[in-house]
Amino acid sequence: MPIRAAVLRTFCVLSALCSVPRGLGMRWGGQGSGQELTTESVDPKVLFWTGAFINMSVVVGLAIYGIRQLRDGFPSRHRSLMITASLLVVGFMLAYALKLVFLGREDLSVWSQAAVWTLRFHETCVLTMVVGGALALRWGSQLCTTRSFTLNSDDPEADPALVNRHRRAGRTAVIGAVLGLLSSGFVLMGMYARLS
């Protein structure tokens, strides 16, 4: 299915899920125009990954906004936003474990080689995000009693090496999250394209 048709179908399904009562058909303008696409025809795994894509979009948004807060001189807001983003990631991991139990894994035998490689790239990005984020949170927690965080001149100065480690880990996590979000968009679009 061409990319344009896949995008149209994705938009149609998302619109149907958000605004059309269950069981009500909705026509879409891709190839095979005239097909009825209902909420029942969507694979539950695709619905799961649609929710995961929305969740990751929020994670990336919180991370980028958190960086802005730090640059604007609000380290406590930065920390709160990053912790919130991390909790969303943990929530996804728990939901993914439940998804494996109740829905199983995707059948990659029907995926193209390019789609599988895109998925593997996405998984690498997510792993990078998780590891980088965990290290950034660990080292960031050690900075909470320093003047870099409290903005109180009476508190001790932060160890420059620790600050650099925290910054590098955080940057790595955010880059992994952004690339993971972009690649997940392509993976999700392919899933919608393979819907029968």
Domain edges within the chain: 1-42, 43-193
The answer to whether residue 130 scores a pLDDT higher than 90 is yes
pTM of full prediction above 0.85: no
- Model confidence at 57, in pLDDT bands (50, 70, 90)? very high
pLDDT at 43: 83
CATH fold of 43-193 = Four Helix Bundle (Hemerythrin (Met), subunit A) (1.20.120)
pLDDT at 25: 37
Q: What are phi and psi of 20, to 5 degrees?
A: -110, 130
Q: What are phi and psi of 154, to 5 degrees?
A: -80, -20
**Residue pLDDT, tens place only, 152-192:** 999 999 999 999 999 999 999 999 999 999 999 999 999 99
Task: Give the position of tokens 């494996």.
Answer: 100
- Name the average pLDDT for the chain: 86
Two structure tokens written together for 185? 């968009």
Largest distance between two CA atoms of the chain: 70
- Model confidence at 194, in pLDDT bands (50, 70, 90)? confident
